[in-house]
Structure 1
Amino acid sequence: MNNQEFNKIWKQPVIKIGVFTLLLTAALSFLPVGYLYFVHGVIPDLALALKAWGMIAALFGAFYVVEPVSYYAVLGLAGTYMSFLAGNISNLRLPCASMALEVTETEPGTKEAEVISTLGIAGSIITNLIGVTIAAFVGTALIKLFPPVVANAFKVYTVPAIFGAVFGQFAFRFPKLGVVGIGIPVILRLTTKLPAWALIIASVFGTILVAKILNERAKRSAGTTA
């Protein structure tokens, strides 16, 4: 399937549905605010609301750019829309999409990866709906039974462990990029006082740049050999 056919069959419908569903979700997220205002007459002061928004934007604003770019190669187009709609991207959608690509031995960033990652994410969303409902009742009860040190470990180390597993998975397949991906933030952390969001941006785009350079060198080497 060429790019034109793929765009017509896959990308164009995905963009239409994805944009519509995300905009609809954004609009529906104001329903609780509308209910409080129209039913109970409760509305925050505009200055206070803007101040609260500014604090959130300062903390997470960089991720609005970093996450879509850094996750896109694994999630794909449809997977990106689905993941940002369903949530739990870093600790659930990304690992599921990554594992789907690995199990099927599919190269990230390809047309095949678009379909495979979408299926993996769709499966994770369905499983998540069932699992989270059960875990909300069972998990809370179990956490209370654990010693504080164990319960705290679950809260503190779960997400880093997932990120470490995903990084190790891709570093094993692309060892040179693995060194670059971990080397950039470590060096910057030791030599600068950049905030965490700046380290993430430097790591993501730095690794992308190095990957592009290595890919071009491999193409030139293959052309010379041929």
Structure 2
Amino acid sequence: MNDNQNLTIQQVYDKEYIPYCIKWGRLTSLVGVVVSFAPLVILAVVFKIMPPLNAILAAATIRISACLVYYFIEPISFQPVLGIPGTYMAFLSGNLSNLRVPCSSVAQKAAGVEEGTPEGAVFSTIGVAVSIVVNLAILTIGVLLGVQIISLIPASFVSALTFLVPALYGAMLMQMVLYTPKIALISVPLGIITLMISKTGLFDSSVAILISVFGSIFIGRLLMKTGWLDD
């Protein structure tokens, strides 16, 4: 009998599937980092175009100060939905919040599996992979025929697309509320309160997100320990 037949699904997931995904996820992520800097290297080496050091430092400071908090928030908040393989794929391909996470969540919901489980991670990977393939196909068509297609779309429809991302977030919010209503009783008001406080200028919106994410995790952990989340 093959050794794989003696392993349970959980053992195959832990000992074979996840290590395989981590190995290739790390490799492709490193390749993605190198490729991301390729245009800069070409401009500097081939075309001899190089901004002064103070301009580079100023731009880097602005970018890091604006995005640093998301480097911590997004992996922690998205990983439970995406799973380890889906996280590697989503962060490499981009469009996490408005495409990869919704596709991952819908795929798991359609399959009837629970997020954060081995089954959920597998279906999340499938959902993310399909979204990447479809996204690349649509982008290719858009690049080749973008002007012609946009000219045929009514202006009212184009303006309505601005509501697409809020609609996706609203659908995901309701799905999470129905899935964990007890945690939603705390996390949703917490998010609303921190957002309203940030509007007063007391702290930045990124801080509001930070408080909402880690506050919900902390409160959910406390509620789980007290047994309040038990059915």
TM-score, L = length of structure 2: 0.85
Aligned to 2:205: 196
Structure 2, unmatched stretches of 5+, are 1-7
Aligned to 1:116: 123
The 3-state SS of whatever aligns with 1:12 is: helix
Q: How does 1:22-171 map to 2 (within 5 A)?
A: 22-136=29-143, 141=148, 143-144=150-151, 151-155=158-162, 157-171=163-177
Are 2:221 and 1:212 equivalent residues in the alignment? yes
CA RMSD of aligned residues (A): 2.4
Are 2:19 and 1:12 equivalent residues in the alignment? yes
Q: Number of residue pairs matched?
A: 221
Report the AA paired with residue 203 of structure 1.
S
The 3-state SS of whatever aligns with 2:206 is: helix
Deviation readout 1:94-128 (Å, 9 max, x if unpaired): 01100011111211111111111011111111111
User: 1:165, 1:221 → 2: CA distance?
Assistant: 25
Residues 1:33 and 1:190: Cα distance change in structure 2 (over 3 Å)? closer
Residues 1:165 and 1:17: Cα distance change in structure 2 (over 3 Å)? same
Shift of 1:152: 3.7
User: 1:4, 1:172 → 2: CA distance?
Assistant: 31
Verify the 8 A CA contact 2:81 2:101 in the aligned structure 1.
Answer: yes
Verify the 8 A CA contact 1:74 1:117 in the aligned structure 2.
Answer: yes
The 3-state SS of whatever aligns with 1:44 is: coil
Q: Percent identity?
A: 34
Shift of 1:162: 1.1
Query: Which range moves more in the overlay, 143-152 or 95-104?
Result: 143-152
Residues 1:120 and 1:64: Cα distance change in structure 2 (over 3 Å)? same
The 3-state SS of whatever aligns with 1:40 is: coil
Residues 1:8 and 1:130: Cα distance change in structure 2 (over 3 Å)? same
Aligned to 1:180: 186
Report the AA paired with residue 177 of structure 2.
A
User: 1:128, 1:47 → 2: CA distance?
Assistant: 37
TM-score, L = length of structure 1: 0.87
User: 1:15, 1:191 → 2: CA distance?
Assistant: 40
